[in-house]
A and B are shown apart, each in its own frame.
Chain A
């Protein structure tokens, strides 16, 4: 089944897009002069734009240009603060501009203009500081020349150059002279102990627009002559249209056009409501294709069976066949999950003669621009992608489906089109965190010390589904085993195997990716081993982490802050879990009570985080809080299931998430560090679920080996 489903996946995007070759995720623009042209146009005369990331106007206004997508993670503020710090800007004079697509804005960790993988600060910490520092050196040089003094005698503060004898000039007054100077390639960066902006809590620059309704999300795009499109989407991946009866739809007043594209049929109208009524009046018959009989029971069996056979060897330390005194075995399973961003998928496209423009809440404006170019046959320089605010991303908005469909609809209809997914369309759009099954076998010696561990992981290969790889090196998909294959626990004998298993449902990136299920698996199983050994869960982990000071450091901090080992109020129970991912280290202790109906109630999460140097403590706190809620929503309620090839869930009624009255207290403790910054959008997620299920074990003696709870 794996081969055919692989083909199906490729067809789903490639075929429906009528695009060529592999999914063009890796696309980047050739080096163009578009930015320099844009910068020149934006800063006529005396403006100063030493590089792609920064402009200073004659009035002193600093504009930081950010190629990353703001989806709630605070990246606009983060990028602006990196530039402003080294520029010694007056923070109040800094504004943020969303960049166009240009190679200059490629994410250094991806090689394309895209946001995800908790890479924003990790990838831009040095480049953005250098951008600010280069400008600062030029402004200082301009002032020193003007004053006839040595540049070394000048310093900068809050948007001004300060010289000897009380000399002072605002940056705005220096931009004309500075812009004539060469741009330093290796400017001197500050010692972090001299930071004045980084490391402090700053009010986010996107907050005011987000409390008065003025923030522009993709769904808010307005254009003259814009029509709204609502689609009938394929009910099953790979399904093909057999027939379309659009007579009833076309009879609805206000319906302007009905457009068929490979992905489905779109009804176009002046607004969403009429387009929806038209869509609901369409009669579309489909040939389900080979996946029409797919069921969740079948998928579960396929994955579980795969763990009974040897897989590709991802790691083999020592010899797991050594004799042991006690064997512990368990099988864990996680379901498919939807992202359920609050803003349903949407995209506005306007394909005109010789050019195309797209406005999208997208995590991948770079690759998506390449896709639009391919779909329209236009050269990339004739395509523009405007990135709006994103009403949530979580990996979902890296997928191109909404860009592809809106582009094809606009191309066919000849008008600007805003395609809006209904919530049900969004929930059933076939981009899911994959289901996964892992079988663990571990051995303890007579004293209860862990001796060996074998983990056999069965799940689809995301790297292939996403177009990142055509085949798996040595049969291993890194995202499928991350969190297990790279574990830091020092088992003397450790073997990790991967059984690529493709039930046919396209897997996609979901906040923290493979860690989202694998850390649950391994941390719940480690708890089982601790119990089998008769050891305390924190002590059992510490003993396996003697050479991992950062991971053990967060474990110790979370234990200390949560009062691990101290008595709890009656009815409260603790569980612990740890993770290392995206360059950061996180430990969480969950406090859980059990309601009379047996339902667990998460009361408190104590998180300890070591994400290297703190760029913004408030952002770290909020991202960890948010990741905990995202993880717990999945743990408590999240599952996408299939019957006859169709998704059974539809809306927030049957795909619930945590609500205000279920929200635990979340405490976030940050380890002071001078290490390079790690990621923070995702690392707060993986440990929340195992901490909770381990607390449920403490409460009930029952192991939770499948989700949702």
Chain B
């Protein structure tokens, strides 16, 4: 059994140690907000935080995160940055199909945690590995700036 902290609670996983965190979250624990997009860390749909750092859950084994703090989209309404981002996402009506948006918000949350006032270049650098097939990039950029503004107000 591998033990880790998920959204502040300790959980035990019976999956084999080589199982990617993505599939332990989705299939064993039923946390389906984290999405499968590519399986090779090429799209960002599976982004979660491991000890606060944006991490691709599809290529991160549960063995590698044993004992660590894992945060998923399901916990974003219980922290200040997550709340600000979700509210900004709604105000700016960012999602279209919505499938990539969990990963987008997780990447944006990690960005704002280390850089409360990101400029366009900072946003490009932090978000360019999160793909969106619906083309919501400009709305995402606006929502990140919007959230940053509410957090510094």
Contact = CB atoms under 8 A, between A and B. Distances in A.
A203 B42 contact: no
B128 A660 contact: yes
A-B complex: 10 closest residue pairs judged by Cβ atoms = A213-B33, A629-B135, A391-B99, A72-B97, A271-B27, A210-B98, A72-B96, A213-B73, A661-B124, A626-B135
A392 B138 contact: no
B97 A389 contact: yes
A362 to B, nearest CB: 14
Interface in B87-114: 89-90, 93-102, 105
Given A211-B101, A214-B33, A72 B27 contact: no
B97 A660 contact: no
A666 B99 contact: no
Contact of A625 (B89, B100, B138): B138
A392 B90 contact: no
Contacts of B97: 71-72, 341-343, 389-393
A653 B19 contact: no
Contacts of B96: 72-74, 622, 626
Contacts of B30: 222
Contacts of B40: 423, 651, 653
Contacts of A423: 37-40
B19 A273 contact: yes
Interface of A: 71-74, 203-204, 206-215, 217, 219-220, 222, 228, 253-254, 270-274, 340-344, 389-394, 420, 422-423, 618, 622, 625-630, 651-653, 657-661, 663, 665-666
Nearest to A420: B36
Contact of B132 (A206, A213, A342): A342
B128 A661 contact: yes
A422 B37 CA distance: 8
B15 A271 contact: yes
A580 B47 CA distance: 40
B139 A622 contact: yes
B131 to A, nearest CB: 6
Contacts of A630: 133-135
A71 B95 CA distance: 11
Contacts of B45: 342
B132 to A, nearest CB: 7
A208 B123 contact: no
B55 interface: no
Nearest to A629: B135
Given A392-B133, A651-B42, A342 B95 contact: no
B102 to A, nearest CB: 5
Contacts of A629: 132, 134-135, 137
A39 to B, nearest CB: 29
A97 B14 CA distance: 37
Nearest to B37: A342
Contacts of B140: 660
Contacts of A212: 33, 73-74, 76-77, 86
Given A391-B99, A625-B135, A629-B135, A220 B32 contact: yes
9 contacts: A206-B95, A210-B95, A213-B102, A270-B27, A273-B16, A342-B99, A630-B133, A660-B123, A663-B138
Contacts of B38: 423, 651-652
A392 B99 contact: yes
Given A73-B96, A391-B98, A658 B135 contact: yes
A389 B130 contact: no
Contacts of A270: 27
Nearest to A665: B138
B130 to A, nearest CB: 7
Interface-centre pick from B16, B43, B137 (highest chain A CB count, 10 A): B137
Nearest to A628: B135
Nearest to A73: B96
B127 A660 contact: yes
B38 to A, nearest CB: 4
Given A207-B98, A629-B134, 9 more contacts: A213-B34, A219-B36, A271-B19, A271-B27, A273-B15, A342-B133, A625-B135, A653-B42, A657-B131
B56 interface: no
Contacts of B141: 660, 663
A389 B95 CA distance: 13
Contacts of A652: 37-38, 42-43, 131
Contacts of A211: 76, 85-86, 89-90, 94-95, 101, 105
B135 A343 contact: no
A444 to B, nearest CB: 38
Contacts of A420: 36
Interface-centre pick from B16, B33, B74, B133 (highest chain A CB count, 10 A): B133
Contacts of B49: none
B28 interface: yes
A210 to B, nearest CB: 3
Contacts of A653: 40, 42
Contacts of B102: 213
